[in-house]
Amino acid sequence: MADRASSDALTRWAVAFGLGVIPLSFLAPGTSDVAVQTSWLQQALVRGPVAGYDVVDYPPGTTLLLWSVTKALNLPLEHAVNLVCCLGLAVGAGLIGRFVSGRAATVTVLVFAYPTAILGYTDSLFLAPLAVAAFSRHWSARLLAVVVLVSLKWTALILCPVFFAIWVADVARTKPFRMRQVVRDLLPASCVDITFAITYGPRTLINQFLVTTSNMTGLSGNAFNVHWLVSWFWFDGAPYGSDVYASISPLYRLFFQVLVASAITVLALAAAWKAQSRHQRLACLRTAVVTYFLFAAFSVHENHLFLAVALSIMVWGRGWEQWITTAILGAVYLLNLFLYYGLSGAQRPLYSLGNLALAVGLAVVACSTWVGARDLRLAFRQPRLTVEMRDAQR
């Protein structure tokens, strides 16, 4: 009882901290993403969220949420994005505290306060549905949460094969098999999918996704990954890989596309049929994100480790692993953001590093690879229990 009270207290502190950074977010200029999101919101307010969707690169969920909150609260346009992002951080921390633990909620706001309040990333909106998708007891809620994740940003599609494979495996293991339960699991998610399809048109959604991916010609959109390292050697130290990749062979892209697709398929199968615990399944989800970040050949961006870091915090918060993996991924994620945008989002510290930037890039790739390899081994065999994990199982 005392542990539960302590966890609840930490959760309340985390939510309060998430709300407390709202004034700070109004003062910070943020990155160029804030201006882009504001322009999308402006179109939604002028033309409506459906008609104005033709200028948006994301799925409709993010702009629809921004539009709804702005209309409901009559917010000034320049503060709407900042407020919604901080609310997403606070609500996400509250749900993580509810599903995981108070310490996980606290670490969540500490790690993501800078990218959310200062840099203005909308990734914080992932936190609440990710917690539900990972820890809800009901597959109907989990599959609905996965649909919500994908409606916010296309990068959440990385998680879909793994989540779907886990659900199929759980259904197959249920004795006796019940079609009624399958329908119940799929119904909420299907209703949301159909609503989006009817509202925006399936062709519009598909075309918008294809246009978005085809416009991303750069292999590394400021992300310290394998392609960023290639750009360093190939183009004599160019720090922005996305600026110099027009001459890359299509075969180069195709190789890495197939590599990433194959790896995520293997992870989905491992999570479904080899993993014996939720810890191992979440490790497969985390590795899918890390694999995409390291090797995907279509403009991986500097903030795309967000999902992996959030999953790590939740796994650690449950007591299923020690702090080292969360610390490494969190440091890699925040270092990438800081070196490209500085404390306020307007600086470029990376430019002052010179050749030291190459060492940073190599270290990031090495650390991320270590996390992915460790998780992949974990997925195929039962881990040795640490003291922390044994305590969590009692």
Q: Which parts of the chain have pLDDT scores under 50?
A: 241-242, 244, 383, 385-394
pLDDT in tens, 107-134: 999 999 999 999 989 999 999 999 999 9
Helical (H) or strand (E) element with 62: helix 60-73
Q: Is 318 exposed, middle or buried (0-12, 13-18, 19+ CB in 10 A)?
A: buried
Between vectors from CA 145 to CA 99 and to CA 88, what angle results, nearest 5°? Answer: 70
* pLDDT in the model for residue 203: 80
Q: What is the pLDDT of residue 391?
A: 45
The confidence score (pLDDT) of residue 298 equals 74
How much of the chain exceeds pLDDT 70, in percent? Answer: 90
Tell the residue number behind the tokens 């993010």, with chain if given: 62
Q: What is the pLDDT of residues 302-322, one digit of tens each?
A: 899 999 999 999 999 998 888
Q: Are 268 and 161 in contact (CB under 8 A)?
A: yes
The span from the CA of 187 to the CA of 176, in Å, is 20
The one-letter amino acid code at 175 reads K
Nearest to 138 by CA among 195, 192, 189: 189
Average pLDDT, the chain: 85
Residue 112 pLDDT = 96
Please choose, from the candidates 149, 192, 147, 140, the residue with its C-alpha nearest in 3D space to the C-alpha of residue 170.
Answer: 140
221 neighbors 303 (Cβ within 8 angstroms)? no
Cα 93 from Cα 15, distance rounded (Å): 6
Q: Counting Cβ atoms within 10 Å, is residue 164 exposed (0-12), middle (13-18) or buried (19+)?
A: middle
CA 260 distance to own-chain centroid? 17
The pLDDT, as a whole number, for residue 124 is: 94
